[in-house]
Chain A
Amino acid sequence: MSAEALLEVRDLSVEFASRHGALKAVRSTSFTMRAGETLAVLGESGSGKSVTAMSIMGLLDPVRSRTSGSITFEGTELVGLSRARRRRFPGRNIAMIFQDALAALNPVQTVGSQISEVLRVHQGASHGAAKAQAIEYMDRVRIPAAAQRYSSYPHQLSGGMRQRVMIAIALALQPKLLIADEPTTALDVTVQAQIMQLLTELRRETGMALLFITHDLGVSAEVADRIAVMYAGRIVETGTAAEVYLHSRHPYTRGLLDSIPRAAQKGQRLTPIVGSPPPLTAIPRGCSFHPRCPRAAEVCTTDRPELREISAAHCSACHFAEELADARG
């Protein structure tokens, strides 16, 4: 497994100090990504999905946070790397795009120069060559009239165009892994569909792997080869989209699927999950989902269920995963 793994995350834990004690954002989470694969990490706010991404990218403040466990990228261990090396590492290996492109882009620099800057810094390209290449990348992310848009400022572009600029910056170094943190959440549905299509096409053209972070069940199902569902800092279920959505083996995933409005039950009451996600300073003992779980038993309040394989390529962290009836309605 690890020989062909592009990214391997083992027992990753991230803690932040807070007034209310240690805030456990990620709790011994493990997963692997192969080259060229798309993995969607699905979770609600506070589930630890973004912090996982930030720790892979090396964006967490080492003073305020504590990271333990291991993150290896093509065999290189990233946890514990010196700051200087850690900062240089992503570049050609890993790139990231964010939800809010307007906040992520420099407002006083033209979008084109923000793309060419990456090429100049990492590849040592000359100004002229970097500009030509940047325009090429703007073309590739389907920005119309790329040469003219090169000297536009971020505020002059629409939300969808800004997100395309971010994607162009991320692609400029031809990374092997692209981390996309809710890249379409702030966009309108029709533009969201355009960006999703663009990401899918680019992935096919470049063969890069994609770690897609989202809270949207539909988006994760459409984009990903595999889905990892996170709850309160841990992965509770992984599998193919079809496995997870049609034969979910975790009560949390099932609860989510049951709570979304569907055509058949128009006007009827929805079936929500009771309660709300726990605060990260006071995560319940045992299975962190047990206070909200309809199947919770004695064992769930004492023993933390580990993620284990239920069937080929389908894992669940529930004591009763085997008993969860097959095929949902």
Chain B
Amino acid sequence: MPAADREVVLELDSLVRHFPVYGSGVVRRQIGTVKAVDGVSMTIHRGETIGLVGESGCGKSTLARLVLALDQPTSGTVRISGVDPFTLSRKALRALRRRVQIVLQDPYTSLNPRMTVGDLVGEPFEIHPAATPPGGAAKAVRDLLDVVGLDPDHANRYPHQFSGGQRQRIGIARAIALRPELVVLDEPVSALDMSVQAQVINLLKDLQDEFQLSYLLIAHDLAVVRHVSDQVNVMYLGKIVERGESEEIHDRATHPYTQALLSAVAEPDPRESARRQRIILEGEVPSPIDPPSGCSFRTRCWKSAAVCASDVPALSVRPGSPHPCACHFASPRS
């Protein structure tokens, strides 16, 4: 069954999160606004992996917090399996949280060093006793450790007794304990050694097949995103600037920012890098407090024209782009 026909797990509609910025004077007047997330819409179906790519400060993590209902949007809606978490009572919200979990980037700091692995993986069942499987929490923990490729007999060990890759498996076991529908993967492999990254990527793929999980994969490594995602979203200063199937984005990106991002990735294969023409962007991501008018990428863009300063380009299918792209001059690289 194609992903698009399956049930919708997450729906974001024109999601906006602005943070006020205050001056340093005695009267702390608001002097600006950081538009961390500025009108993002997105749909994730069951069993689908949606990649979200962007540089630091583009709003990826704020978006993740909104999806996890840890932060309230300024406007727009989040719907988790059709339910808006911000309209719920505290009790109902707590029940809804079972459906969305997160795997954090750094398995060294995200696990409590004073808790045993068994306690860490079993903690979700203490918070949601109703979700404990029939055999009891202890058995569920052993099963979970087995599922993520750890020895169930190690349940009484502490995190420091495990390697980085094993710790990330513990984090993954915690995230899937309550059988969520959606898991936010926030840079799940970037803190791991190269030789271990592939193991964790394979595990995530296996778990997705086994439990029909949907993933929102936030990462900066385009090769990883391409490998596991069905669809890729490229984010720049709070907005999605390009969206499409992962092959489409990698082979026929139409937004200048995506093209630059792809060409900036260092290529290990000398045959491949000899073939490539690199785009080196000027400058850095502008401050989100005072983003450029019109298209926010125009200050670094080689295609920039008068229209870019006046009109904000919408994320839509255009003559030069068969998939949605927010550029007035969208076209694939020649």
- Residues of A in contact with B (beta carbons under 8 Å apart): 44-45, 158, 160-161, 188-194, 196-197, 215-222, 241-242, 245-246, 252, 255-257, 259-263, 265-267, 269-273, 276-277, 292
Contact across chains for A193 and B268 when beta carbons are under 8 A apart: no
Q: Check: B110 CB closer than 8 A to any chain A CB.
A: no
Q: How far is the CA of A246 from the CA of B272 in the complex (A)?
A: 11
Q: Check: B195 CB closer than 8 A to any chain A CB.
A: yes
25 A-B residue pairs with CB within 8 Å: A188-B55, A188-B220, A188-B284, A188-B285, A193-B281, A194-B280, A217-B194, A221-B273, A222-B266, A222-B273, A245-B269, A257-B268, A259-B198, A261-B198, A261-B201, A266-B226, A266-B246, A267-B227, A270-B227, A273-B196, A273-B198, A276-B163, A276-B166, A276-B195, A277-B163
Contact across chains for A272 and B198 when beta carbons are under 8 A apart: yes
* Nearest A residue to B55, CB-CB: A188
Contact across chains for A190 and B260 when beta carbons are under 8 A apart: yes
Q: How far is the CA of A190 from the CA of B56 in the complex (A)?
A: 11
Contacts of A260 in B (CB 8 A): 194, 198, 223, 268
Contact across chains for A196 and B266 when beta carbons are under 8 A apart: yes
Q: Is the interface of B mostly helix, strand, loop or mixed?
A: helix
Q: How far is the CA of A263 from the CA of B249 in the complex (A)?
A: 12
Q: How far is the CA of A277 from the CA of B224 in the complex (A)?
A: 21
Q: Check: B278 CB closer than 8 A to any chain A CB.
A: yes
Q: A194-B281, A246-B270, A261-B224 are in contact. Are A189 and B264 (CB under 8 A)?
A: yes
Contact across chains for A272 and B199 when beta carbons are under 8 A apart: yes
Encode B192-204 as 1/0 by CB contact (under 8 A) with A.
0111111101100
Give 9 closest A-B pairs by Cβ, nearest first: A218-B266, A261-B227, A272-B198, A259-B198, A270-B198, A188-B55, A193-B264, A217-B268, A44-B193
Q: Is the interface of A mostly helix, strand, loop or mixed?
A: helix
Q: How far is the CA of A257 from the CA of B267 in the complex (A)?
A: 12
Contact across chains for A259 and B261 when beta carbons are under 8 A apart: no
- Smallest distance from the beta carbon of B51 to chain A beta carbons, Å? 12
Kindly identify which residue among A190, A216, A272 contacts B196, using a CB–CB cutoff of 8 Å.
A272
Q: How far is the CA of A222 from the CA of B278 in the complex (A)?
A: 12
Contacts of A276 in B (CB 8 A): 163-166, 193, 195-196
**Chain B CB within 10 A, most for which of A190, A219, A266:** A190
Contacts of A266 in B (CB 8 A): 226-227, 246-247
- Smallest distance from the beta carbon of A255 to chain B beta carbons, Å? 6
* Nearest A residue to B224, CB-CB: A261
Q: A189-B55, A269-B202 are in contact. Are A218 and B265 (CB under 8 A)?
A: yes
* Nearest B residue to A328, CB-CB: B269
Contact across chains for B270 and A190 when beta carbons are under 8 A apart: no
Contact across chains for A269 and B280 when beta carbons are under 8 A apart: no
Contact across chains for B220 and A221 when beta carbons are under 8 A apart: no
- Smallest distance from the beta carbon of B288 to chain A beta carbons, Å? 13
Contacts of A44 in B (CB 8 A): 193-195
* Nearest A residue to B166, CB-CB: A276
- Smallest distance from the beta carbon of B156 to chain A beta carbons, Å? 21
Contact across chains for A259 and B194 when beta carbons are under 8 A apart: yes
Q: How far is the CA of A190 from the CA of B285 in the complex (A)?
A: 9
Contacts of A216 in B (CB 8 A): 266
Q: Check: B97 CB closer than 8 A to any chain A CB.
A: no
A-B contacts besides A276-B163, A277-B195, 13 pairs, CB < 8 Å: A158-B284, A161-B284, A189-B55, A189-B265, A190-B260, A193-B280, A217-B194, A218-B268, A245-B268, A245-B269, A261-B223, A261-B228, A263-B250
Q: Check: B205 CB closer than 8 A to any chain A CB.
A: yes
Contacts of B166 in A (CB 8 A): 276
Encode B177-211 as 1/0 by CB contact (under 8 A) with A.
00000000000000001111111011001000000
